[in-house]
Amino acid sequence: MELRRHSAVLRDGAQRFIDAPADLLVFERSLAGQRLLCAFNLGSSAGRWRPSADREWRMIESVGGAEEWNFPPLSGLIARCLS
């Protein structure tokens, strides 16, 4: 919540949902040339998902043990677009 409070792109940016496996909620927020990817595992099983290779992403925040596109149950991450 702290990150959202201090990030205009998370509060006010355009939102686009991205196809992902069941139990994963993935969307991109964009505003003024900045892009953030938000990915959350809402299920009770671990999952793995990677964004398409057309952009490079760097994780800036995670919760519940999510890291580098591996998602334990009830975890998530936010990544910033570098390209």
- Print pLDDT tens along the chain (83 aa): 566 667 788 888 999 999 999 999 999 999 999 999 999 999 999 999 999 889 999 999 999 999 989 999 999 999 999 98
44 has which bridge partners?
A: none
CATH of domain 2-81: 2.60.40.1180
Q: Which 8-state DSSP code applies to residue 54?
A: T
What is the 3-state secondary structure of 17-32?
A: ECCCCCCEEEEEEEEC
63 vs 53: CA distance, rounded Å: 24
pTM: 0.90
42: tokens are: 């809402």
